[in-house]
Amino acid sequence: MANLLDQLAAITVVVADTGELDAIKQFTPRDATTNPSLILAAAQIPAYQPLIDDALRSARAVIGPEAPAEAVVLEALDEICVIFGREILKIVPGRVSTEVDARLSYDTEGSIAKARKLIGLYREAGIGCDRVLIKVASTWEGIQAAQQLEKEGIHCNLTLLFNFAQAVACAEAGVTLISPFVGRILDWYKASTGRDHYPGNEDPGVVSVTRIFNYFKTHGYGTEVMGASFRNIEEILELAGCDLLTISPKLLDQLRSSEGVLERKLDGLNPAPSEARVHLDRAAFDAAMAADAMAHEKLDEGIRGFCKAIETLEAQLAHRLAELEGASAFTHAAQEIFLLNDLDGDGCITREEWLGSDAVFDALDTDHDGRLVPDDVRGGLGAALALAQSS
Protein backbone atom coordinates (compact mmCIF):
# COMPACT_ATOMS: atom_id res chain seq x y z
CA MET A 1 0.00 0.00 0.00
CA ALA A 2 1.27 3.47 -0.86
CA ASN A 3 2.07 5.75 2.05
CA LEU A 4 -0.18 8.70 2.85
CA LEU A 5 2.18 11.23 1.28
CA ASP A 6 2.17 9.45 -2.08
CA GLN A 7 -1.61 9.09 -1.99
CA LEU A 8 -2.02 12.76 -1.12
CA ALA A 9 0.30 13.83 -3.92
CA ALA A 10 -1.89 11.97 -6.40
CA ILE A 11 -4.87 14.28 -5.75
CA THR A 12 -3.32 17.48 -4.30
CA VAL A 13 -0.22 19.45 -5.23
CA VAL A 14 2.17 19.01 -2.31
CA VAL A 15 4.32 22.04 -1.52
CA ALA A 16 7.30 22.14 0.85
CA ASP A 17 6.92 24.81 3.53
CA THR A 18 10.60 25.44 4.19
CA GLY A 19 13.66 27.37 3.12
CA GLU A 20 15.98 24.43 3.82
CA LEU A 21 17.35 23.12 0.55
CA ASP A 22 18.20 19.67 1.90
CA ALA A 23 14.64 19.14 3.12
CA ILE A 24 13.26 20.13 -0.28
CA LYS A 25 15.62 17.66 -1.97
CA GLN A 26 14.45 14.95 0.40
CA PHE A 27 10.74 15.28 -0.32
CA THR A 28 10.83 16.45 -3.98
CA PRO A 29 7.62 18.54 -3.89
CA ARG A 30 6.33 20.34 -6.97
CA ASP A 31 6.49 23.81 -5.39
CA ALA A 32 8.06 25.42 -2.32
CA THR A 33 7.13 28.37 -0.14
CA THR A 34 9.26 30.66 1.99
CA ASN A 35 8.55 33.45 4.45
CA PRO A 36 10.73 35.68 6.67
CA SER A 37 10.71 33.20 9.54
CA LEU A 38 11.77 30.32 7.27
CA ILE A 39 14.51 32.38 5.62
CA LEU A 40 15.76 33.42 9.08
CA ALA A 41 15.85 29.78 10.17
CA ALA A 42 17.66 28.71 7.01
CA ALA A 43 20.19 31.52 7.43
CA GLN A 44 21.36 29.91 10.68
CA ILE A 45 22.58 26.80 8.86
CA PRO A 46 26.37 27.03 8.34
CA ALA A 47 26.18 25.35 4.94
CA TYR A 48 24.16 28.29 3.63
CA GLN A 49 26.62 30.97 4.79
CA PRO A 50 28.16 31.27 1.30
CA LEU A 51 24.71 32.20 -0.05
CA ILE A 52 24.38 34.91 2.60
CA ASP A 53 27.88 36.21 1.87
CA ASP A 54 27.17 36.30 -1.87
CA ALA A 55 24.06 38.37 -1.21
CA LEU A 56 25.95 40.85 0.95
CA ARG A 57 28.74 41.25 -1.60
CA SER A 58 26.25 41.65 -4.42
CA ALA A 59 24.31 44.23 -2.41
CA ARG A 60 27.47 46.20 -1.70
CA ALA A 61 28.30 46.20 -5.42
CA VAL A 62 24.81 47.45 -6.27
CA ILE A 63 24.60 50.12 -3.56
CA GLY A 64 28.18 51.36 -3.87
CA PRO A 65 31.34 51.41 -1.73
CA GLU A 66 30.40 54.52 0.23
CA ALA A 67 26.83 53.53 1.07
CA PRO A 68 25.97 53.04 4.76
CA ALA A 69 25.69 49.52 6.12
CA GLU A 70 21.93 49.88 6.62
CA ALA A 71 21.38 50.45 2.90
CA VAL A 72 23.51 47.43 2.03
CA VAL A 73 21.55 45.24 4.43
CA LEU A 74 18.21 46.35 2.98
CA GLU A 75 19.42 45.52 -0.52
CA ALA A 76 20.85 42.22 0.70
CA LEU A 77 17.46 41.17 2.10
CA ASP A 78 16.01 41.20 -1.41
CA GLU A 79 19.10 39.45 -2.78
CA ILE A 80 18.84 36.73 -0.13
CA CYS A 81 15.16 36.04 -0.84
CA VAL A 82 15.92 35.66 -4.54
CA ILE A 83 19.12 33.65 -4.01
CA PHE A 84 17.24 31.12 -1.88
CA GLY A 85 14.44 31.15 -4.44
CA ARG A 86 16.88 30.45 -7.25
CA GLU A 87 18.43 27.56 -5.34
CA ILE A 88 14.99 26.13 -4.58
CA LEU A 89 14.00 26.34 -8.25
CA LYS A 90 17.01 24.18 -9.12
CA ILE A 91 15.27 21.43 -7.11
CA VAL A 92 11.53 21.82 -7.62
CA PRO A 93 9.93 21.65 -11.08
CA GLY A 94 7.23 24.20 -10.28
CA ARG A 95 7.12 27.52 -8.46
CA VAL A 96 8.65 29.20 -5.46
CA SER A 97 6.84 31.76 -3.32
CA THR A 98 8.93 34.76 -2.28
CA GLU A 99 7.54 37.22 0.25
CA VAL A 100 7.34 41.00 0.08
CA ASP A 101 8.75 42.72 3.19
CA ALA A 102 6.04 42.36 5.85
CA ARG A 103 6.66 45.95 6.93
CA LEU A 104 4.91 46.96 3.70
CA SER A 105 1.73 45.04 4.54
CA TYR A 106 -0.37 48.22 4.73
CA ASP A 107 1.42 50.03 1.90
CA THR A 108 -0.05 49.24 -1.51
CA GLU A 109 2.44 51.22 -3.59
CA GLY A 110 5.38 50.03 -1.51
CA SER A 111 4.32 46.41 -1.94
CA ILE A 112 3.97 46.86 -5.70
CA ALA A 113 7.43 48.42 -5.97
CA LYS A 114 9.03 45.68 -3.87
CA ALA A 115 7.32 42.94 -5.89
CA ARG A 116 8.52 44.47 -9.15
CA LYS A 117 12.04 44.61 -7.76
CA LEU A 118 12.00 40.96 -6.67
CA ILE A 119 10.69 39.86 -10.05
CA GLY A 120 13.37 41.99 -11.71
CA LEU A 121 16.06 40.18 -9.72
CA TYR A 122 14.60 36.83 -10.78
CA ARG A 123 14.54 37.94 -14.40
CA GLU A 124 18.19 38.98 -14.19
CA ALA A 125 18.88 35.41 -13.09
CA GLY A 126 17.01 34.06 -16.11
CA ILE A 127 13.89 33.01 -14.19
CA GLY A 128 10.49 33.92 -15.61
CA CYS A 129 7.33 35.07 -13.85
CA ASP A 130 5.72 31.69 -14.41
CA ARG A 131 8.00 30.14 -11.79
CA VAL A 132 7.59 32.74 -9.05
CA LEU A 133 4.71 33.65 -6.78
CA ILE A 134 5.05 36.92 -4.90
CA LYS A 135 3.67 36.57 -1.38
CA VAL A 136 1.72 39.52 -0.03
CA ALA A 137 -0.17 39.80 3.26
CA SER A 138 -3.96 39.60 2.96
CA THR A 139 -4.64 43.12 4.18
CA TRP A 140 -6.91 45.29 2.04
CA GLU A 141 -3.82 47.19 0.89
CA GLY A 142 -1.99 43.96 0.08
CA ILE A 143 -4.93 42.63 -1.92
CA GLN A 144 -5.09 45.83 -3.97
CA ALA A 145 -1.35 45.56 -4.63
CA ALA A 146 -1.80 41.97 -5.79
CA GLN A 147 -4.64 42.96 -8.11
CA GLN A 148 -2.36 45.44 -9.88
CA LEU A 149 0.55 43.00 -9.99
CA GLU A 150 -1.63 40.29 -11.54
CA LYS A 151 -2.56 42.74 -14.31
CA GLU A 152 1.18 43.11 -14.99
CA GLY A 153 1.66 39.34 -15.23
CA ILE A 154 3.22 39.04 -11.75
CA HIS A 155 1.46 36.16 -10.02
CA CYS A 156 0.69 36.46 -6.31
CA ASN A 157 0.24 34.24 -3.27
CA LEU A 158 -1.86 35.99 -0.62
CA THR A 159 -0.62 34.93 2.79
CA LEU A 160 -1.70 35.45 6.41
CA LEU A 161 -5.27 34.69 5.40
CA PHE A 162 -7.63 33.76 8.24
CA ASN A 163 -11.23 34.27 7.18
CA PHE A 164 -13.83 34.14 4.43
CA ALA A 165 -13.84 37.90 3.80
CA GLN A 166 -10.12 37.94 3.02
CA ALA A 167 -10.58 34.98 0.67
CA VAL A 168 -13.50 36.59 -1.18
CA ALA A 169 -11.59 39.85 -1.63
CA CYS A 170 -8.62 37.92 -3.03
CA ALA A 171 -10.78 35.98 -5.48
CA GLU A 172 -12.49 39.15 -6.67
CA ALA A 173 -9.05 40.71 -7.17
CA GLY A 174 -8.07 37.82 -9.43
CA VAL A 175 -5.04 36.67 -7.46
CA THR A 176 -3.39 33.42 -8.45
CA LEU A 177 -3.37 31.69 -5.08
CA ILE A 178 -4.33 32.14 -1.43
CA SER A 179 -2.75 30.52 1.64
CA PRO A 180 -5.29 30.15 4.48
CA PHE A 181 -3.45 29.47 7.76
CA VAL A 182 -5.16 26.38 9.16
CA GLY A 183 -3.00 25.83 12.23
CA ARG A 184 -2.97 29.42 13.41
CA ILE A 185 -6.77 29.49 13.28
CA LEU A 186 -6.79 26.37 15.45
CA ASP A 187 -4.30 27.97 17.86
CA TRP A 188 -6.63 30.93 18.41
CA TYR A 189 -9.68 28.79 19.09
CA LYS A 190 -7.79 26.58 21.52
CA ALA A 191 -6.55 29.62 23.41
CA SER A 192 -9.89 31.40 23.43
CA THR A 193 -12.09 28.42 24.36
CA GLY A 194 -9.74 26.40 26.55
CA ARG A 195 -10.53 23.34 24.45
CA ASP A 196 -7.35 21.34 23.87
CA HIS A 197 -8.47 19.10 20.99
CA TYR A 198 -10.69 19.26 17.93
CA PRO A 199 -11.42 16.23 15.72
CA GLY A 200 -10.17 16.84 12.20
CA ASN A 201 -13.58 17.54 10.69
CA GLU A 202 -14.37 20.04 13.47
CA ASP A 203 -11.01 21.80 13.39
CA PRO A 204 -11.85 25.52 12.88
CA GLY A 205 -9.01 25.93 10.37
CA VAL A 206 -10.16 22.93 8.36
CA VAL A 207 -13.76 24.16 8.41
CA SER A 208 -12.64 27.61 7.17
CA VAL A 209 -10.58 26.26 4.27
CA THR A 210 -13.32 23.79 3.28
CA ARG A 211 -15.84 26.64 3.10
CA ILE A 212 -13.50 28.79 1.01
CA PHE A 213 -12.62 25.93 -1.36
CA ASN A 214 -16.25 25.00 -2.04
CA TYR A 215 -17.23 28.65 -2.51
CA PHE A 216 -14.46 29.25 -5.05
CA LYS A 217 -15.26 26.11 -7.03
CA THR A 218 -19.03 26.67 -6.93
CA HIS A 219 -18.71 30.17 -8.37
CA GLY A 220 -15.93 29.43 -10.84
CA TYR A 221 -13.12 31.55 -9.38
CA GLY A 222 -9.72 30.74 -10.83
CA THR A 223 -7.88 31.52 -7.58
CA GLU A 224 -6.21 28.41 -6.19
CA VAL A 225 -6.52 27.44 -2.52
CA MET A 226 -3.40 26.27 -0.69
CA GLY A 227 -3.91 25.24 2.92
CA ALA A 228 -0.95 26.25 5.09
CA SER A 229 0.38 26.34 8.65
CA PHE A 230 -0.61 22.84 9.74
CA ARG A 231 -0.28 21.58 13.31
CA ASN A 232 -0.87 17.87 12.68
CA ILE A 233 -1.42 15.41 9.84
CA GLU A 234 -5.12 15.05 10.72
CA GLU A 235 -5.69 18.60 9.46
CA ILE A 236 -3.90 17.73 6.23
CA LEU A 237 -5.90 14.55 5.65
CA GLU A 238 -9.17 16.44 6.16
CA LEU A 239 -8.18 18.74 3.27
CA ALA A 240 -7.10 16.00 0.84
CA GLY A 241 -8.15 17.12 -2.62
CA CYS A 242 -7.50 20.82 -1.98
CA ASP A 243 -5.71 22.51 -4.88
CA LEU A 244 -2.43 22.68 -2.97
CA LEU A 245 -1.20 22.06 0.58
CA THR A 246 2.07 23.51 1.87
CA ILE A 247 3.51 21.25 4.53
CA SER A 248 6.51 21.43 6.85
CA PRO A 249 9.27 18.80 6.54
CA LYS A 250 8.29 17.31 9.91
CA LEU A 251 4.73 16.63 8.79
CA LEU A 252 5.83 15.52 5.34
CA ASP A 253 7.97 12.90 7.04
CA GLN A 254 5.04 11.76 9.19
CA LEU A 255 2.86 11.38 6.11
CA ARG A 256 5.57 9.45 4.29
CA SER A 257 5.96 7.14 7.29
CA SER A 258 2.22 6.46 7.63
CA GLU A 259 0.10 3.92 5.79
CA GLY A 260 -3.64 3.68 5.35
CA VAL A 261 -6.32 4.51 2.82
CA LEU A 262 -6.52 8.22 2.05
CA GLU A 263 -10.03 9.54 1.43
CA ARG A 264 -10.58 12.54 -0.84
CA LYS A 265 -12.40 15.19 1.19
CA LEU A 266 -12.50 18.07 -1.34
CA ASP A 267 -13.38 17.83 -5.02
CA GLY A 268 -13.07 20.85 -7.28
CA LEU A 269 -15.17 19.20 -9.99
CA ASN A 270 -17.95 18.34 -7.57
CA PRO A 271 -17.88 20.90 -4.76
CA ALA A 272 -20.19 20.74 -1.78
CA PRO A 273 -23.08 23.23 -1.81
CA SER A 274 -22.00 26.76 -1.00
CA GLU A 275 -23.55 30.12 -0.17
CA ALA A 276 -24.55 32.70 -2.76
CA ARG A 277 -21.88 34.82 -4.38
CA VAL A 278 -21.03 37.99 -2.44
CA HIS A 279 -19.17 41.22 -3.20
CA LEU A 280 -16.93 43.08 -0.75
CA ASP A 281 -15.86 46.68 -1.07
CA ARG A 282 -13.43 48.33 1.35
CA ALA A 283 -16.13 49.18 3.89
CA ALA A 284 -17.57 45.66 3.88
CA PHE A 285 -14.10 44.15 4.14
CA ASP A 286 -13.17 46.34 7.10
CA ALA A 287 -16.47 45.56 8.82
CA ALA A 288 -15.96 41.82 8.37
CA MET A 289 -12.44 41.99 9.78
CA ALA A 290 -13.54 44.12 12.73
CA ALA A 291 -16.29 41.62 13.54
CA ASP A 292 -13.91 38.65 13.46
CA ALA A 293 -11.62 38.83 16.50
CA MET A 294 -9.68 35.74 15.43
CA ALA A 295 -8.84 37.02 11.95
CA HIS A 296 -8.06 40.52 13.17
CA GLU A 297 -5.77 39.32 15.95
CA LYS A 298 -3.99 36.62 13.95
CA LEU A 299 -3.37 38.93 10.98
CA ASP A 300 -1.82 41.54 13.26
CA GLU A 301 0.17 38.91 15.13
CA GLY A 302 1.40 37.33 11.89
CA ILE A 303 2.58 40.63 10.43
CA ARG A 304 4.36 41.53 13.67
CA GLY A 305 6.01 38.12 13.78
CA PHE A 306 7.29 38.36 10.21
CA CYS A 307 8.51 41.92 10.85
CA LYS A 308 10.42 40.69 13.90
CA ALA A 309 12.02 37.92 11.84
CA ILE A 310 13.10 40.48 9.22
CA GLU A 311 14.58 42.78 11.86
CA THR A 312 16.46 39.89 13.46
CA LEU A 313 17.84 38.86 10.09
CA GLU A 314 18.86 42.46 9.38
CA ALA A 315 20.85 42.58 12.62
CA GLN A 316 22.61 39.34 11.72
CA LEU A 317 23.37 40.60 8.23
CA ALA A 318 24.81 43.84 9.59
CA HIS A 319 27.10 41.85 11.86
CA ARG A 320 28.19 39.59 9.01
CA LEU A 321 28.78 42.59 6.73
CA ALA A 322 31.09 44.07 9.35
CA GLU A 323 33.00 40.78 9.48
CA LEU A 324 33.31 40.64 5.69
CA GLU A 325 34.34 44.26 5.22
CA GLY A 326 36.45 44.72 8.33
CA ALA A 327 37.64 48.26 8.89
CA SER A 328 35.70 49.67 5.96
CA ALA A 329 32.43 48.80 7.72
CA PHE A 330 33.49 50.83 10.72
CA THR A 331 34.56 53.69 8.48
CA HIS A 332 31.01 53.78 7.11
CA ALA A 333 29.61 53.69 10.64
CA ALA A 334 31.89 56.54 11.70
CA GLN A 335 30.74 58.62 8.75
CA GLU A 336 27.11 58.06 9.70
CA ILE A 337 27.69 58.99 13.33
CA PHE A 338 29.59 62.11 12.35
CA LEU A 339 26.98 63.33 9.87
CA LEU A 340 24.20 62.72 12.38
CA ASN A 341 25.87 64.83 15.06
CA ASP A 342 27.54 67.58 13.00
CA LEU A 343 24.40 69.68 13.05
CA ASP A 344 25.88 72.83 11.51
CA GLY A 345 28.03 70.98 8.97
CA ASP A 346 31.26 72.73 9.96
CA GLY A 347 33.32 69.54 10.09
CA CYS A 348 33.42 69.14 13.85
CA ILE A 349 31.04 68.19 16.66
CA THR A 350 30.78 70.26 19.81
CA ARG A 351 29.43 69.00 23.11
CA GLU A 352 26.24 70.99 22.47
CA GLU A 353 25.70 69.22 19.13
CA TRP A 354 26.50 65.74 20.46
CA LEU A 355 23.33 63.62 20.68
CA GLY A 356 24.86 60.96 22.91
CA SER A 357 25.96 60.99 26.54
CA ASP A 358 28.69 63.19 28.01
CA ALA A 359 30.62 60.07 28.98
CA VAL A 360 30.83 58.88 25.35
CA PHE A 361 31.79 62.38 24.18
CA ASP A 362 34.59 62.53 26.77
CA ALA A 363 35.84 59.08 25.73
CA LEU A 364 36.03 60.14 22.08
CA ASP A 365 37.54 63.56 22.85
CA THR A 366 41.00 62.15 23.57
CA ASP A 367 42.79 65.51 23.22
CA HIS A 368 40.23 67.21 25.48
CA ASP A 369 39.70 70.19 23.19
CA GLY A 370 35.90 70.05 23.48
CA ARG A 371 35.31 69.13 19.85
CA LEU A 372 35.23 65.94 17.80
CA VAL A 373 36.59 65.59 14.28
CA PRO A 374 36.13 62.54 12.01
CA ASP A 375 39.41 60.96 13.17
CA ASP A 376 38.20 61.10 16.78
CA VAL A 377 35.04 59.16 15.93
CA ARG A 378 36.89 56.61 13.77
CA GLY A 379 39.47 56.13 16.49
CA GLY A 380 36.78 55.55 19.08
CA LEU A 381 35.12 52.91 16.97
CA GLY A 382 38.45 51.25 16.34
CA ALA A 383 39.15 51.07 20.07
CA ALA A 384 35.73 49.55 20.70
CA LEU A 385 36.36 46.96 17.98
CA ALA A 386 39.75 46.07 19.45
CA LEU A 387 38.22 45.57 22.88
CA ALA A 388 35.44 43.40 21.45
CA GLN A 389 37.90 41.23 19.53
CA SER A 390 40.16 40.74 22.55
CA SER A 391 37.35 39.76 24.92
Q: Which residues are catalytic?
A: 135
Contacts of 65 (CB under 8 A, 6+ apart): 328
| Backbone torsions φ then ψ of 300, nearest 5 degrees | -60, -45
**Cα dihedral 348, 352, 355, 360 in deg (nearest 10):** 80
Pairwise CA distance, residues 30 & 219, whole Å:
27
Name the residue type at position 28: T
Q: How many helices (H) and strands (E) would you count in the chain? A: 17, 10
Note whether 186 and 203 are within 8 A (CB): yes
Residue 99 contacts residue 307 (beta carbons within 8 Å): no
Torsion sign across C-alpha atoms 279, 281, 283, 289? positive
Residue type, 342: D
Using CA of residue 130, residue 136, residue 140, residue 145, what is the dihedral sign? negative
CB atoms under 10 Å from CB of 47, counted, come to: 10
Separation between Cα atoms, residue 137 and residue 156, nearest integer Å = 10
Q: Smallest Cα–Cα separation from 137: which of 206, 35, 225, 236?
A: 35
Nearest to 189 by CA among 298, 29, 335: 298
Q: Under the phi-then-psi rule, with left for phi > 0, alpha for psi from -120 to 50, and beta for the rest, what region is 346?
A: alpha
Angle between helix axes 327-341 and 69-89 (nearest 10 degrees) is 130
Q: Residue 230: CB partners within 8 Å, gap ≥ 6? A: 182, 183, 236, 245, 247, 248, 251
